[in-house]
Amino acid sequence: MSLVNEAVAKQRLDAARAGSIEEQKAYLQKLLEIESCYEYDVVLYMMMNDEDLKWLKPLALEHFIPAVKIITEGMYHKRRIYEEDFFDEDTQETVTFFRLDIIDDETVFTPDKDLLDKNEKAVLSQLKILDIYMLRQLQGSFYTLDDEIENELYRRGDPKAIEQRGDKYRYGDEENGIFVDYAKAKTYYDRVNVEFDPEKEAREDRKDAIESFPDFATYRLEGADVPAVKDMLRLLYEKFGEHSEPFMYLPLEAVMKMLVGSSAYVGYIQTIEEDENNLNVIELEVEFYGCSSSSLKYALKQVFPSLKVEFVEHAP
């Protein structure tokens, strides 16, 4: 399907609106086959209104995936399309660009939990029979299903999904139990011929992290595993720590290496404060360079799943 301009796009959309159910399905199917992201977004922008929801919703309830995708996107966020002029100093010409903003804190359609649940079940029921192109189209439309969709694409040997798996180990997905591992990232990149030098990346990432402005957080640990955590930190400090009043400097790399086998996290545990009235509570002051303040939380939970871990970010 090729859209020459917005007028033609609207004409085709109007024809689909007035057409039969089969014509509407054919139109939506072709819509998802548009190669130009801009053309696709223009049509989707036109379709995001309550009048179109009236004919899209019955199709979604029939588990027709293109309608399911469009409705779900409209219930998760809003699109804004506009033109922006850019002056090219080399050619001395003004060039007009079309811009698209995805606004996550606004929606086009009023969120309907029952319909979203049905849409989710429709995708799950067809996950193994949808073609790879459609699965790719669904990525990002269902925040709750992204992992299932990615896993299905990976299971089928989709190159993009394999590369995305490498990205997770390259950059970390700590909340889901994946910590930065350059060597493992390379095993995925090699399968899809993506050049990646793990030693070079590790050096450059560490250099960038050290040169970055740190984030600071106060961690509070509570539970029966706290004594074991204290023993671990004490042993690591004896081996790797540096003392400089009023701080102890225990490298975060050593802690993360011990917990999850990754030394790609740069920072320091500055202080450890014990609660005199409760031996199962400690507070840590931690600084993080170039990595998320939550990374230590997920690493601790990997080894001590019953440990209660809370943290608050703060200024230096």
For residue 198, how far is the Cα from the chain centroid? 22
Q: Write out pLDDT tens, residues 32-63.
A: 877 666 677 778 788 888 889 999 999 999 99
pLDDT at 5: 65
Q: Is the pLDDT of residue 3 over 60?
A: no
Region 284-307: mean pLDDT is: 96
The reply to whether 222 and 100 lie within a common domain is no
The reply to whether 116 and 227 lie within a common domain is no
pLDDT at 270: 94
215 and 287 Cβ atoms separated by less than 8 Å: yes
Residue range(s) defining the domain that contains residue 79? 6-156
The reply to whether 164 and 189 lie within a common domain is yes
Give Cβ neighbours of residue 202 (< 8 Å, ≥ 6 apart). Answer: 182, 264
pLDDT at 35: 60
The reply to whether 91 and 178 lie within a common domain is no
Give the number of domains in the chain. Answer: 3
pTM: 0.76
Beta strands in 76-178 (DSSP E): 78-88, 93-103
pLDDT band, residue 316 (cuts 50/70/90): confident
pLDDT at 37: 65
Local structure of 124: helix, strand or coil: helix
Q: Is residue 1 situated within a structural domain?
A: no
pLDDT at 1: 39
Q: Write out pLDDT tens, residues 224-239.
A: 999 999 999 999 999 9
The reply to whether 306 and 235 lie within a common domain is yes
The reply to whether 149 and 195 lie within a common domain is no
- Range among 82-86, 87-91, 228-232 with highest mean pLDDT value: 228-232
Mean pLDDT, all residues of the chain = 89
Q: Among 136-145, 185-194, 217-226, 281-290, where is mean pLDDT lowest?
A: 136-145
Residue 102 phi, psi (nearest 5):
-100, 115
